[in-house]
Amino acid sequence: MNDKKPTSANRGFKKRAPRAIKEIRKFAEKMMGTPDVRIDIRLNKHIWSQGIRHVPHRLRVRLARKRNEDEDSTHRLYTLVTHAPCGDFKGKQTLNVDNE
């Protein structure tokens, strides 16, 4: 996921990391079709690792649609977004992975 354009264009320095989290949520909601999106702690730490101003330009994320265990929730499914570390981004394509 290329995160440079939505977080840097006409944005103040102090809003880049929170904006990156919002863009990841928006991307996951669009791809998986679930309004309930949860971000993993490791992904959050990776985004904030260089501070609020210097957000990583590219991220490789894994999206997993899971069943909601809470009985009184309004949505049956939620999307869990985790960080998929990768050294080089050249030639990477979208990959569908079965349950592990």
Query: pLDDT digit string (tens) for 21-32?
Result: 999 999 999 999
Give the model's pLDDT for residue 8.
64
Q: Is residue 97 part of a domain?
A: no
If one compares 72 and 5, the residue with the highest pLDDT of the two is 72
Which of 71 and 20 is assigned the larger pLDDT? 20
Mean pLDDT in residue range 75-100:
88
pLDDT exceeds 90 at position 9: no
What dihedral do alpha carbons 51, 43, 77, 96 form, nearest 10°? Answer: 130
- Apex CA 60: angle with CA 58 and CA 64, to 5°? 140
φ/ψ of 22, rounded to 5, equals: -65, -40
CATH number at residue 71: 3.10.440.10
Predicted local confidence at residue 89, as pLDDT? 86
Which sign does the torsion angle of CA 4, 8, 9, 15 carry? positive
Range of the domain at 35: 4-83
Give the count of domains, the chain.
1
Does the pLDDT of residue 11 top 80, yes or no?
no
